[in-house]
Amino acid sequence: MGAQDKSDIETWLGYLEDVLTPLPASEREDIVVEARAHLEERIEAGLSASSALAGFGKAEHYARAFLDDHKLNTALDSKRSMTMLKTLISVAGQSLIATVGLIGFLVFGVTTLAAIACILLKIARPEMVGLWIAPDVFVLGAATTRPAAPEMLGNWVYVVLAGLVFFDALLARFSLVLALKGLKGQADRE
Amino acid sequence: MAPSTEKTPESRRTQMYKGVLELALMSLLQDGAQYGLKILDVLHEEAGLDLSEGTLYPLLHRLEKAGMIKADWRHEEGASHPRKYYALTAAGATELKAQGDIWLDMTDRLNAFLKRGK
């Protein structure tokens, strides 16, 4: 291998290693060593460094596939809503799936918080929270002025609101997981 | 509007490759463990799949993470570098069978459809 070829390969591999920094060290080393072995074997077979490197493309583009996969796997494996949310936010601008997932999370997240707020308000001001139903009235939750309808639930509203908290929180999390799995499937197909 | 002429035969082929790469790769590994450079050359020469290193290695990495294939480094006599060999796992063999059946059924039907009336 000529000095120039060696220098080109080392520069590319060095840059690859730098951009792969977010990966665990063993995984990063594996990718770099494998690329090095491939490149050096191609050059030994008579290819120039630029021809051998052409198949890999720019180091940052080559690294992108590994980094995206790692980011999505890490978020999904963490099983933590906050980690999943941060990952989705980081890609929301570039992906419709991520944006839809975030909207789902926000909608169900806000209704979860609203239901929690209603439970707390019911404890402090029981008359302001309930379920009022009449032919032209349906109010579930908090009402600043008492609706012109009979209140149907009494203290059973706690059960209904707790159910809402549970299911909306579940749906908010489901939105995150579904969006991340959708992104992963999309990345797999690209 | 005039039909788009932006798509080259290469870009059409690349689009179609994406769906079959995984299948071809797992089918190759069914015959025995192989390393990246060899996989690339065999898929090119025997399957006519002109994929690049930038496509192959991330795909191998993803399949390994998904448990479809497993890898080990081997220091072979005569080779100047250690090589990372990939082999199909039991889960990969099951997936290959499922994907292969779908592919064969789909291509049989599509071939018959494309040749209708000819």
Query: Any bridge partners for residue A131, and if so which?
Result: A140
For residue B117, which amino acid is it?
G
- On chain A, the residues whose CB falls within 8 A of the CB of B19 are 189
Which uninterrupted H or E stretch holds B89? none
Domain annotation covers residue B1: no
Residues B59 and B25 sit within 8 Å (Cβ to Cβ): yes
Counting the structural domains of chain B, the total is 1
Tell me which of A91 and B30 has the higher pLDDT. B30
pLDDT at B8: 64
**Average of per-residue pLDDT across A142-148:** 86
Whole-angstrom CA distances from A66 to A69, A152, B2, B111 are: 5, 56, 39, 36
Using the structure block, give the residue that is written with the tokens 């074997």: A41
Separation between Cα atoms, residue B28 and residue B64, nearest integer Å = 15
Residue B112 Cα, gap to closest chain A Cα (Å): 27
A-chain residues within 8 Å CB-CB of B80?
Answer: 40-41, 44
pLDDT of B11 above 70: no
Let me know if residue B9 belongs to a domain.
no
Q: Indicate which of A9, A31, A34 best probes the interface with B, i.e. most B CBs within 10 Å of its own CB.
A: A34
Distance from CA of B79 to the nearest CA of A (A): 9
B61 and A66 in contact by Cβ < 8 A? yes
What contacts A71, CB < 8 A, 6 or more positions away?
Answer: A22, A87, A90
In a domain, B41, yes or no: yes
CATH number at residue B71: 1.10.10.10
Instruction: Between B3 and A149, name the one with better pLDDT.
Output: A149
Is the confidence at residue B5, as pLDDT, over 60?
no
Q: How far is B114 from chain A (nearest CA, A)?
A: 25
Pairs from B108-111 (Cβ < 8 Å, separation ≥ 24): none
Q: Which site among B57, B59, B70, B99 would you substitute to test the A interface, given the most A Cβ atoms closer than 10 Å to its Cβ?
A: B57
DSSP lists the bridge partners of residue A132 as: A139, A151
Judge whether A14 is closer than 8 Å to chain B, CB to CB. Answer: no
Rounded mean pLDDT of chain B? 85
Task: Compute the distance between CA of residue A102 and CA of residue A176 in angstroms, rounded to an integer.
Answer: 7
> What is the model's pLDDT at position B12?
60
CB-nearest to B62 from A30, A55, A69 is: A69
Average of per-residue pLDDT across B10-36: 82
Q: How far is CA B105 from CA A131, A151, B69, B111, in A?
A: 56, 61, 25, 10
pLDDT digits (tens, 9 = 90+) for B34-53: 999 999 999 999 988 888 89
In whole angstroms, what is the distance from residue A44 CA to residue A1 CA? 7
Q: What is the pLDDT of residues A8-64, one digit of tens each?
A: 899 999 999 999 999 999 999 999 999 999 999 999 888 888 999 999 999 999 999
* B114 pLDDT more than 60: yes
In a domain, B117, yes or no: no
Of residues B10 and A71, more confidently modeled: A71
Query: Cβ(A129)–Cβ(A140) under 8 Å?
Result: no
User: For B44, what's the count of Cα atoms within 13 Å in the CB-facing half-sphere?
Assistant: 11
Q: Is residue B97 part of a domain?
A: yes
Helix (H) or strand (E) holding A146: none
Q: Can you say whether the dihedral through the CA atoms of A77, A18, A182, A187 is positive or negative?
A: negative
**A80 contacts A129 by C-beta, under 8 angstroms:** no
pLDDT value of residue A87 = 87
**Number of residues that this document lists for chain A:** 190
Q: Is the pLDDT of residue B78 over 70?
A: yes
Q: Is the dihedral of CA A107, A111, A117, A118 positive or negative?
A: positive
Hey, what's the torsion of the CAs at A42, A46, A48, A54, to 10 degrees? -40
Tell me which residue range forms the domain holding B95. 15-112
In A, minimum Cα distance to B21 occurs at A189
Checking if the pLDDT of A109 tops 90, the result is yes
In this prediction, residues A127-141 reach a mean pLDDT of 90
First to last CA, chain A: 34
* Nearest-neighbour CA in chain A from B3: distance (Å): 25
Is residue B16 predicted with pLDDT exceeding 90?
no
pLDDT confidence bin for A94, thresholds 50/70/90: confident
Report residue B54's pLDDT band, with 50, 70 and 90 as the boundaries. very high
Predicted pLDDT at A160: 94
| Nearest Cβ partner for B57 among A34, A42, A190 | A34
> Which positions in chain B touch A69 (Cβ < 8 Å)?
58, 61-62, 65
State whether ipTM is beyond 0.85: no
Residue B2: pLDDT band with limits 50, 70, 90: very low
Residue B105 has pLDDT above 70, yes or no: yes
Residue B25 falls within a domain, yes or no? yes
**B43 within domain boundaries:** yes
Is B105 within a domain?
A: yes
Do A32 and A20 contact (CB within 8 A), yes or no? yes
Does an H or E element contain A93, and which? Answer: none
Q: Residue A58: how many CB atoms within 10 A of its CB?
A: 14
In angstroms, what separates the C-alpha of B33 from chain A's closest C-alpha?
A: 16
Higher pLDDT, A76 or B15: A76
